[in-house]
A and B are shown apart, each in its own frame.
Chain A
């Protein structure tokens, strides 16, 4: 036997900024997104939606639509194979509305036709007679006794209380405030799309852009009346998700149409329909009170939070729990009462969006921290650092922090980062108002402020959260090749590359192929909760280790150590290992939410610098600096991408992104009027990536996706407050708020910490 030559250095291992293989096709326009799927002879599906926020369906007449040219099928609730309901955390929605509609955009009927235009015209020909009912669109009103009951089980989706320490604690200095969050949308650039193909066995194969195939499967199969084995999902190219693809949108509809017509059916939402088709970020009302000692030590936080869940529950229960659990911020707070309630209303349903409940409360508690600093006459950065959590400290659920960089370090490092230069008044594009040519420095004031935030990684409160990976190591043309299969959805965040880099590092083989996710393997869980690196990365790591152990065994069987072989020489037989990886168990929520409900915490700090034209109320965010504890940057460029992208979304919520509702109607369901930040709105980001490994995470790598959206919003708004002196208790901040000093008032009087079901009108 010959000694193997030293292995050539591997390219693209953990810690390297390896390039992603989907980048060239995505930037060149050749990537196949779900909306590009096609099959010969396929039909095109379209959806008839409710124009009313709340109405009784008197009758539906599909005869005209059925008679139209090219129309192959028209389905209503009468055609559903089962009465099963669907829904992410609570099955509370019918696949097609029956008897009643509960929000504008609720699906009422489906059409399949030979081309998209015929399908679209046929949706217009479906005659639905409605009897409109008064809509309940104020979530606080929906919670009061005597409000119309929107579901047979009442209007409360979830009610979470966190009671920590002394609920009646007293303090020297007390500040309070009311806050409001508008409805943000995930606005993924790729609209909802999929292709369903009927199978010979009476089942169906669905190619779909989603965040979690197995969860979809669990909702689709019962609604179709099929066993799980007869419904097969294949991940199609996902054009962004941000939470919007956690819920079932067109999945069941597509399968129903394919099964009814026995033909492949494709469905692609248009931009406008996409705004009606998926859930949004929860709008929120928050009432906060903070108490501190004169030296700035926090004594208590009390808060009441009302989240508007819209017509159906979606993931509201977990969003409500998050808003409450993380509602005191990344600080040591010995006494707390947080009462968070999610309400059913007749507004469009809300659910998962990056930051998931932590975003809403962070905006409020960080505003409170600044208020407190002012009342104390203390530097707001110092106040935060003084109270910041470090390992061993408990959050308000009594769970200690573990495996984290002391948050005070993140805060101080962030505060000390390079500041931007003076405004360049000669270039209007660099000033508030941008290319609109608004100011050459007139009315411009600069503000800088810092905010910190945190949330959980992975699923919490006893959820059986796992991911599955299959690693197959084979020899092909004399070379070792590792095939990695998981059901983890690549939604743009880079999980494919994470799996690839981990496999390459552990197996020490250059060629790693990450296969297209499908449901032939068990679940990987959702691409959400910043969890895929931790969970699927962890599963791949565990599977690779088992494969490596087998390699070692084979080497040993030949009397040498693994290092003495070329890997390929040990692969006369391929090695395949499948591992189901779980994080350590978490505890279910109890009455006062005092327990170890979470796996671990993610922390970040953001410092924003803004120029505000105080006369026009226009804002230019000049720079955002951030320090984030990522544990380990598996791929540093990908981490920076997440930090910058998350900050863009946080900036959007701070100054422009809002779905405007009136009586349950969305007034701006288009990219003409739902404004996302452009290149000229997005400032340079200065990233400080802190690597404090967590022992349970693969290579110590915690999730990175969500923290950038959490504290960036309050940092930007605080910087605008610093520049303008305005209260700004609502996001997004509108020019009116700056120019006229408009303050958002819910019209409800609530004592922070109290039950919002006993709110009183202020008038």
Chain B
């Protein structure tokens, strides 16, 4: 955290944050239909006070719809939204105390930065003096005090975003919803803003939900990630859990790069399954839930969880190097194990070390047998 700001502000805000320390949010069996189309089905989320949760999923999966239901702009077809274990049914958007930061920031173009931040405070009916104190404080917090008289069109993207977040935080919302707030920023600025916003929300102790289709963003910012596909939550867990133990095949293919190999269970050995990969070789995989003997499965393993060996072994997959892609710190190989089946393998690149050549015979072995997953296939 940088220490440019006078300490007094931070201290005061932290004291305030303790006062209105986070609120919890619970989505209880939310279902939503647009006409005939079911946009969301059976959404259950239990979010702790002060937690930062990402709602991750491809475009059109229903993320914005979830936010609009929480904020009260649309009413769910079925199910309940509870803030601090109280149902908010019947409360309008303006009564719920849910702050929103929009993708395009939605700053009021005809108002100055100052008036934008003051808007919610004036709507609350605060006295002139208190409005002015709070606005000053919020602008100081995002280091925009010197731009108070500007109009939004006279600000850069990052500055607009900081105005949007301070406008939303000024009214001390119970929850903060962020709908793809970083997608309009260029890459370097995006990282800065991600850090800054996470810091601000932590300081204020606000419970936040970030909607994004960018998995790196979700991974780096969140305490927990909820994966949404086609209106259903596939997994709700910590970033590392989601990455190492994807709950469904969708999660496995959506998050990071992953090899999916059709395989068959052929045995059990000291708590691990022996899996025969169609095309050649077998491996040992530690898997928690029980699978039927001889079951057909998809064996999911990340490229960086494979080690390249030069000698055959009982639990190695033989293959031939096809393509070699150096990426700076790492190097990715495409290894073909059967005429129409290739595996991606990522290795740390050691300076000066020889890299594998095209056509070379290699043997692949999982580095960690517990960071692989088996998905039963129906056939």
Asked if A pairs with B, the answer is no
